[in-house]
Structure 1
Amino acid sequence: MQPYLFLAIAIVCEVIATSALKASAGFTQLWPSVVVVVGYGVAFYFLSLTLRTFPVGLAYAIWSGAGIVLVSAAGWVLYGQKLDLWGFVGLGFIIAGVLIVNLLSQSASH
């Protein structure tokens, strides 16, 4: 269960850092820039801990898929970046793909 916790922390930190990237205005705003650097540092650290037990492909599929969906949600909430029907369809496919790889694929055994 601990690798899943590490992966969840990595995902949350990556989403926070990516969301702050817009607010950093090209690293011209101090505090959002600090959030970006610290967030990515913590995210990669916890991703590296996850990779001690998870196959890299599985960990990255979950991390990137969840990150895309959560950053899209954060963009909607924080910046008013709305999704249209096809945006939701695409995000649904990403979620489905992560679930298939994680739950059904033999190549993702862990």
Structure 2
Amino acid sequence: MHWVFLTLAIVGEVLGTSLMKVFSSEGHVLIGTLIAMSTVGISYLLLSQATRRISVTFANAAWEGLGMVLITGVSFLWLQEQISPLQLVGIVLSLIGIMVVHHGYHQADEAVQEAV
């Protein structure tokens, strides 16, 4: 269930940020801000539930990194924003960072189990 919480937290962040951009672009800055604050607040609540079973290091890396990747995808596909080659390099490095943190997360679990 903790992975579901993490997934929903990421989706909430992406949804809130994307809707903020849409509403703000149409001149509804207050509505966009309120939607973003609400969805990101719920996202933090879900993230806190996920960290009950997932390390906060990995959960935060996944939440921020995957959120950034998905928001970039939404920006490009839905909002018709351009993505520079340097931004693509940053996305690839973020994904690599998440994988490294995830690998370290499993190594830490194995070390704890061996100690017991």
Q: TM-score, normalising length from structure 1?
A: 0.82
Greater alpha carbon shift after TM alignment, 51-60 vs 4-13: 51-60
Correspondence 1:1-110 to 2 at 5 A: 2-25=1-24, 28-30=29-31, 32-105=32-105, 106-107=107-108, 109=109
Structure number with bigger Rg = 2
Q: Percent identity?
A: 26
Taking the aligned partners of 2:29 and 2:14, their CA distance within structure 1 comes to 20
> Structure 1 runs of 4+ off > 4 angstroms?
none
**AA matched with 1:23:** V
Return the alpha-carbon distance in structure 2 between the equivalents of residues 90 and 34 of structure 1: 29
Instruction: Give 1 or 2: higher helix fraction.
Output: 2
Structure 2 residues not aligned, in runs of 5+:
111-116
8 Å CA contact 2:2–2:50 kept in 1: the answer is yes
Q: Secondary structure at the match of 1:11?
A: helix
Deviation at 1:33, TM superposition (A): 4.0
Q: How many angstroms does 1:38 deviate by?
A: 2.7
Gaps of 5+ in 1: none
Structure 2 residue identity aligned to 1:47: L
Q: TM-score, normalised by structure 2?
A: 0.79
Kindly tell me the number of residue pairs found equivalent between the two proteins: 107
Distance in 2, Cα, partners of 1:38 & 1:78: 22
Distance in 2 of aligned mates of 1:91 and 1:28: 28
Deviation at 1:82, TM superposition (A): 1.6
